[in-house]
Amino acid sequence: MRLLFLGDMVGKTGRTAVWNRLPGLISDLKLDFVVVNGENAAGGFGITEDIFLETINAGADVVTTGNHVWDQKEAVAFAGRHDQFLRPANYPQGTPGRGSGLFYARNGARVLVANVMGRVFMHPELDDPFKSAEAILDACPLKEQADAIIFDFHAEATSEKQCFGHFVDGRASFVVGTHTHVPTADHQILNGGTAYLSDAGMCGDYDSSLGMDKEEPLNRFISKMPKGRMEAATGPATICGVGVEISDATGLAEKIAPLRLGPRLAETIPEFWR
């Protein structure tokens, strides 16, 4: 199975780049399943229902989120209406929406996608992500109820991300970190066969501070005083993500490589998809 994961869409420039490029990527690369993190898609803060639906219409099978999931008030209302919209699974019981779901890929495979949020340097501090992941895996084990299992681990600390990857190694197909908006170079297949990447990066303008116009965050670092609102940068976007090939026989990863398309970072498409 060919899986593509795209990192956090930031603002209009990021989401538009994904909407424009994703249909062609699905066709050209013969992708079976696509997950996109959309938590910063609405001006850099949260996501609206219209943006979610447009991302699904562009070809995403699931949209994940993170700590900014409720920044747009309407998300509380629409989260429960769409199975393909995921918020972190370790929110307390009774939180609107869902944190995981079983979906069907284009090749007919059953794909479990789970969105879990870390706790180190993160706000709000949610329930234990490791216990949450254990419960998800117990309810839908790999190669029993699911042919592939994907975790979007939305977290700040790379140590927590790496430990989470080792925790589910051999029981999940792929663990990808989101939240920091900076793509890492540690894509690998862990000893048990789980593909891993500490952070997929963002889909947004890299002439920025994490996708936001750089003037205000720079001012705050220098003066310690806000001058105005943080605004999403509006320059040309680079799409950042990662491609994974998953064995139909075992549900574990066989190949992993970054995908980057745009003006700022060196462009790359996984060699095994060329």
Binding-site residue positions: 8, 39-40, 67, 154, 179, 181
Q: Which of 68, 82, 166, 187 is catalytic?
A: 68
Pick out the residues of the known binding site for Fe cation. 8, 39-40, 67, 154, 179, 181
Rounded Cα–Cα distance for residues 104 and 32 (Å):
9
Q: Using CA atoms, how far apart are residues 266 and 173, in angstroms rounded to an integer?
A: 27
The yes-or-no answer on residue 82 being catalytic is no
As annotated, the active-site residues are 68
